Amino acid sequence: MSTIPDTEFSDLATIDWRNESLSYAQLKAHLPRPEMNTQTATETVQAIIDDVRARGMQTLTDLAKRFDHVDLDHTRVPQHELDRALEELDPQVRLALEESIDRARVFAAAQRPQDTEVNYANGAAVTQRWVAVRRVGLYVPGGLAVYPSSVIMNTVPAQAAGVASLALASPPQKEFGGLPHPTILAAAKLLGIDEVHAMGGAQAVAAFAYGVEVENDERGGIEPVDVISGPGNVFVATAKRLVKGVVGIDAEAGPTEIAILADENADPSFVAADMISQAEHDANAAAVLITDSVQLAGSVRGELVKKVAATKHSDRVLQALSGTQSAIILVKDLDQGIEVCNAYAAEHLEIMVADPEATATRITAAGAIFVGPYAPVSLGDYCAGSNHVLPTNGTALHASGLNVNTFLKAIQVINYNKAALGDVAAHVINLANAEDLPAHGDAVAVRNA
Give the E-state strand segments of 263-347 in sequence order.
Answer: 286-291, 327-330
Please tell me whether 381 is known to bind a ligand: yes
Answer yes or no: 347 catalytic: yes
In Å, how far from its chain's centre is CA 32?
A: 20
Please tell me whether 348 is known to bind a ligand: yes
- Distance (Å, whole) CA 211 – CA 52: 9
- Distance (Å, whole) CA 68 – CA 178: 8
Answer yes or no: 348 catalytic: yes
Write the single-letter amino acid at 79: Q
Catalytic one among 347, 357, 388, 427?
A: 347
Hey, is 415 helix, strand or coil? strand
Please tell me whether 139 is known to bind a ligand: yes
Catalytic one among 348, 388, 398, 427?
A: 348
Report whether 238 contacts 199 (CB < 8 A): no
Hey, is 161 helix, strand or coil? helix
Please tell me whether 233 is known to bind a ligand: yes
In Å, how far from its chain's centre is CA 447?
A: 49
| DSSP H or E segment with residue 237 | helix 234-243
- Distance (Å, whole) CA 287 – CA 276: 8
Q: Which residues of 34-53 are buried (b: 16+ CB within 10 A; e: fewer)?
A: bebeeeebbeebeebbebbe
Please tell me whether 281 is known to bind a ligand: yes
Q: Which residues are annotated as a binding site for NAD(+)?
A: 139, 203, 233
Question: Catalytic residue numbers?
Answer: 347-348
